[in-house]
Structure 1
Amino acid sequence: MDPGAAPAPPIPPGSAAPDAADSDVDATLPVDLLLEIAARSDAASVVRCAAAAKPLRRAILDRGFRRLLAQRATATSGYDPSLLRGVSYKVEDSDADHPVRVVQAVPADEPSVLRGFNVSLDFEPVASRDGLVVLRRLRPRPVFGQSIEEAPPGSVLRVCHSFTGAVSVLPSVSIRDYRKHALLSVEDNGRAFELLVADERLRIQIYSSREGRWGPVRAALPRRQSRPFHDSYPLVIGRIVHWLCNPEQLPPLGHLFGPEPYIVAVDADTMEATVIDLPRGCTSRMTASMSHRGLLLASSVDGRLKVVVSETQVISMWTMSPPVEGEPTLPPRWVRQVLIDKQDWGVHSSVQFEGFGLRSGTVILYVGRVGLIRLNLATKEAVIVYHLSDIAYISQVCLHEIDLSSLLQTMKPLS
């Protein structure tokens, strides 16, 4: 695997061979009708259709087809569940000699779709977006009495394309990067990207693959001295990166008592930082012992900020409404929606969130005594990813999604 090689667009298994696609066979159905069928199909089927014949490929690569896909997605709030192509995670089982990384395709009957994601357990995923996964080499555990924040800066970072296996090795970063990272942008089907890294003081560095280097260290200065949650993924909306934060002094054990957590939003270009308070009553609905892993930042496809909350009885989602025109200084308004009643699931254990996929609208959550579950925010469909045994421990959960629009734009017309 060449670290410098540019990833080619992933072709799902079962696609027609190029020789078959080159033959300009007349379609038995009108192209317009075939387009309607393709628009109602999953992402893998769309790519297969594009490989079937020249006229259909030309129509699928046209911007009009992408607009048709967007219209169809309104039924699922703009999300497309088929864009989630897999979930990976690490399993440590006391009955096994060694931990293993499980790579589970979605749907399960296409196991080779994630053939490119074959990663050593010496690395952990710290960000993922549109087929790319950022991997960080695991650090040695701090010695007794030493804080992880006292560790030296400069982790070993790699960026892997889940579907092609192409790997980029990044130069060393200048700050302590032991928190989760953010893929600020992914373009050209993963050939170009920007990676944002922040430390415990919200000092920020951005890596550009086009320039092949890290930018300068810059500090975001919110009006409250803030410390991002240690193991919570930041959320990217446009060029704004959002972190769940606590005040400078963390509550004991990271539990939600004492000062309320809040959101810090930072413009990656200007470093302007904004503090956004969580919805009133949001954390009071959680049990006193609930870890901050019971909070998750998410967003709608049109960029509205959401907070998913594991409450005592339900899993809820709070959506921030746009500011009132002419009154931009008013506190944000939040609308609460119940996603799941835990009683319906027969769940009385803690629920912790492991990640969110914007393309598919999927939330991965860990339910005590049950295991890993993927929940779609639009359809409310819940599927068990891994049924937990009493002797297993799950970590390093990662979602693998594709950006179908970007993939189609990189495909060339058949000659």
Structure 2
Amino acid sequence: MAPLPARRRRRTPASNPTAPRKRRRASTSTPASIAPVLPTNVMLEIVARSDTRTLVRCAALCKPLRRTILSPAFLRRAAAIVPPRLLGYLHTFDMDKEDEELPDALFSLLHPDPTTAGSFSDEHLPRFVGRSAADLLGSYKPLTSRNGLAVLLRRHVNRRRWSQRRSDVCVYNPVTGERTFFSYPPDYWRNYFRDLGPVFVLLTAGDGIGCDFKLLAVDFYGFFDSSASMHVQTMSSSSSEDGAWSPVEYVHGITCESDWMEMELSRDAAVLHGRRIHWLAKRGEVILTYDVATSETGAIWVPVDYEDVSKLHLGISPDGRLRLLVVEGFRVSVWLRSAGRGGWELKAVIDTEAKLRSLCPEIMAPDGPTFLEFIDSGEKSGVALLRIKRPGCRVSCRRWLIVLEVETGEVRKIWCPHRSNLVVEIDMPSRLQTMKVFS
């Protein structure tokens, strides 16, 4: 059979030079119109009438907008809705326990007074710490806070291999939601039950450290046998990506006087600008100091005798001086450390008994051993937090928090039913000044 002839390929019009070209129709669609730009003054007017989260996000958009927001005139306008300083409780809970439920709000305002008209309204609080933080606050327990940043520790033991434990510690920013995770310092659990155990101290950009934060892990040794020393390791925001703590720095030569170095570690350290850390001794009427820059240690004697350290609170005054609050019965004495002479000055004595009997008649017994004890304080807001102690009074005494305005002597009470709380103080201008710009 003869082979079939090969088929001739049909030439497409595109490859045929003689084929007529089709004319394209003109597009009937109009080019996309450029979205109108909102004038800056209108945007600032909206920000001034909004809430804290909106103000923070607008300040992070660009530096020119942030400069306007940080101007004194704008801050005075926005203070009616967003006060320059916030002091509140960050609530944590154990999400693995059936008897602990998710709090209605993850942040409760303590200062300014939330009941005062024109102050930071409750409707802004859910926006301030979003519900997305529930997983974090349900898995971590509070440790310490400073300048708007909170340090949280994993609530339950992480059973991963040590090389994979990158989420044991978290530095959390409630304003922006930013979280930085890293592991415990090496030998953390080995030193946990030895002598005083590890203590964490947080420094922030406001302390002039050149980065967002620096966390110090301090181990105290030999404070019960007159051979005191400190082992210091640091983790900063610049080194957290590597997850490596600094090498241990050994600080020796700490002078001990009998047993005065029985430290009270349940309280936060007081940090002066200039990175000098102060710890109040549990007994012995003395304060241990440590200079982060020079590693020098020292001691400051307390101006009063005391047997119960819960009746004293060491902190920083709004003008940056070391402040010691002492409570005797229902009187609160305010001592300030003089910068020049290096001595103590009694600034005020506040008698709270009459006001407390009016505020808390159900707690204040007509007679018997009823007294106050310190819980915490806000440095820049000038607020001290106390609790009434009375034998046999458990639930009501623990849940009512006494808020003392140190400068004015005003006293009020706030119901705080949550078990696990962390006092967080946020200075809005300083936080806005040091925050990063969105890319």
TM-score band, normalised by shorter chain: 0.5 to 0.7
Matched, 1:207 2:235: yes
Question: In structure 2, what is the Cα distance between the partners aligned to 1:193 and 1:303?
Answer: 19
Aligned length in residues: 331
Question: CA offsets, 1:156-200, max 9 Å, x none?
Answer: 322222233332221321354655522122369x98210112223
Alignment root-mean-square deviation, CA: 4.4
Return closer, same or farther for 1:306/1:203 CA change in 2, 3 Å cut-off. Answer: same
Q: SS at the partner of 2:123?
A: coil
Match of 1:112 among 127, 143, 161: 127
Which structure 2 residues correspond to residues 284-363 of structure 1 after superposition, within 5 A?
291-324=308-341, 332-346=343-357, 347=364, 349-363=370-384
Assess if the C-alpha contact under 8 Å between 2:147 and 2:204 holds in 1: no
Question: CA offsets, 1:273-331, max 9 Å, x none?
Answer: 110111135x3xxxx6xx4222211112332100112211312221111233xxxxxx6
Q: CA deviation at 1:412?
A: 5.8
Q: SS at the partner of 1:23?
A: coil
Return closer, same or farther for 1:26/1:332 CA change in 2, 3 Å cut-off. Answer: closer
Which structure 2 residues correspond to residues 16-35 of structure 1 after superposition, within 5 A?
22-24=37-39
Which structure 2 residues correspond to residues 148-163 of structure 1 after superposition, within 5 A?
156-163=168-175
Q: SS at the partner of 1:232?
A: coil
Question: What residue number does 2:90 align with?
Answer: 88
Q: CA deviation at 1:363?
A: 2.6
Q: How much identity, in percent, do the aligned residues show?
A: 22
Question: What residue number does 1:244 align with?
Answer: 280
Question: What residue number does 1:148 align with?
Answer: none
Question: What residue number does 1:99 align with?
Answer: 100
Question: In structure 1, what is the Cα distance between the partners aligned to 2:215 and 2:413?
Answer: 31
Question: Greater relative contact order: 1 or 2 (C-alpha under 8 angstroms, separation 6 or more)?
Answer: 1
Question: What residue number does 1:230 align with?
Answer: 265
Question: What residue number does 1:192 align with?
Answer: 212
Q: CA deviation at 1:97?
A: 5.2
2:99 aligned partner, one-letter code: H
Q: SS at the partner of 1:214?
A: coil
**TM-score if structure 1 supplies the norm length?**
0.65
Question: What residue number does 1:12 align with?
Answer: none
Assess if the C-alpha contact under 8 Å between 1:351 and 1:367 holds in 2: yes
Question: What residue number does 1:167 align with?
Answer: 179
Matched, 1:378 2:403: no
Q: SS at the partner of 2:339?
A: coil
Question: In structure 2, what is the Cα distance between the partners aligned to 1:272 and 1:55?
Answer: 39
Structure 1's unaligned 5+ residue stretches are: 1-18, 74-79, 141-153, 247-258, 325-330
Q: Which moved more, 1:227-236 or 1:118-127?
A: 118-127
Question: In structure 1, what is the Cα distance between the partners aligned to 2:385 and 2:133?
Answer: 19
Return closer, same or farther for 1:242/1:165 CA change in 2, 3 Å cut-off. Answer: same
1:339 aligned partner, one-letter code: I
Which structure 2 residues correspond to residues 48-59 of structure 1 after superposition, within 5 A?
57=65
Question: In structure 2, what is the Cα distance between the partners aligned to 1:162 and 1:260?
Answer: 37
Higher Cα radius of gyration: 2
Question: What residue number does 1:144 align with?
Answer: none
Return closer, same or farther for 1:26/1:306 CA change in 2, 3 Å cut-off. Answer: closer
Q: SS at the partner of 2:213?
A: strand
Return closer, same or farther for 1:220/1:168 CA change in 2, 3 Å cut-off. Answer: farther
**TM-score if structure 2 supplies the norm length?**
0.62
Q: SS at the partner of 1:109?
A: helix
1:378 aligned partner, one-letter code: E
